[in-house]
Amino acid sequence: MPKGARYEKVRYDDDDETCDSNESLSEGGEPQSRTHKWLGARSIVTVLSVLVNVALSILLLRNWSPKTQLLEERHGLVPSVPLKLVTFVNQSELFPTYDTSKTFEEHVAMIEQAWEPVLIPGGGFIVIPPSKQQDLGTPMTLRITPGGVTDNLYTISAFHQIHCLYFIYRHWLLLYHGHSAEEMLDGFEVLAEIDQVGHVSHCFDYILQSIKCAADSSLEHGAEEASRHALGTDGMDAVHVCKDWDAFTRFPLAALGDLHSKAHPA
């Protein structure tokens, strides 16, 4: 090649299939392909996208166990229980037909006795040591036992839902008998500083979200007493797939020892 010769850009037509890139000389005298540069940049973007997705997957897996099932504690801190078929029946002992001849106190005494097996000792609170709290949020310190307050408390959602339902029911009894909201605190002294109307509103909201979360898809038939022209359902006698409630309550009941042994003066 004569001294002083230099490369010129190669001209080509768009329809020329024999050439797929423009080549020029770099400062070092080596030809570079624009197509190769573009492919290299695209490869880098692809690799970065994969790395980001892998990192996000790792973060999600840290907080989500592949064994997590519907309506179970996502970290496995509350034991799983068997499922069983349950036929819904009228629990009139929990929600008796209102008897206008009875006083408010008589009604409360009646439902407290009936609800005792449902409102388990300890209220469904359990102690979770700091090493296992992970991203559970701020633990509670409450007076659950006569021995004082207990730290690092969390409550199992199902028992919070039952507490809310019971609280609403007692409020309804109060309103029916014309009592004040303050009288609701009998047996609920721990709630003395809480706005009672706001608490009831919270309970309605909480139960609604709990129902939507469970989204029970069991099918219900018409109520036996419903007429053919006005069919309706009361939900009774329908079969549901449920957790074994007796098995479910064993864990918080077994954890009562922690509530007592870890209690200390406030």
Residue 160 lies in a domain: yes
Residues 190 and 122 in one domain: yes
Number of domains in the chain: 2
Residues 46 and 120 in one domain: no
Residues 130 and 189 in one domain: yes
Q: Measuring CA to CA, how many Å separate 155 from each of 55, 78, 103, 118, 190?
A: 32, 11, 33, 15, 15
255: CB partners within 8 A, 6+ apart? 122, 126, 127
Residues 250 and 195 in one domain: yes
* Coil, strand or helix at 55: helix
Residue 69 lies in a domain: no
Residues 27 and 139 in one domain: no
Residue 205 lies in a domain: yes
Range of the domain at 33: 23-62
> Tens digit of pLDDT per residue, the chain (266 long)?
545 444 444 454 444 444 444 444 444 454 555 555 655 666 776 767 777 676 666 655 555 454 567 889 999 999 999 999 999 999 988 887 777 788 878 888 888 888 988 999 999 999 999 999 989 999 999 988 888 899 999 999 999 999 999 989 888 887 877 776 666 555 554 444 456 678 889 999 999 999 999 999 999 998 876 555 566 888 999 999 999 999 999 999 999 888 888 888 87
Residue 73 lies in a domain: no
Residues 159 and 55 in one domain: no
Residues 92 and 214 in one domain: yes
Residues 122 and 248 in one domain: yes
For residues 183 and 174, give the distance between their C-alpha atoms in angstroms, rounded to a whole number. 8
Residue 91 lies in a domain: yes
Whether pTM exceeds 0.85: no
Residues 93 and 200 in one domain: yes
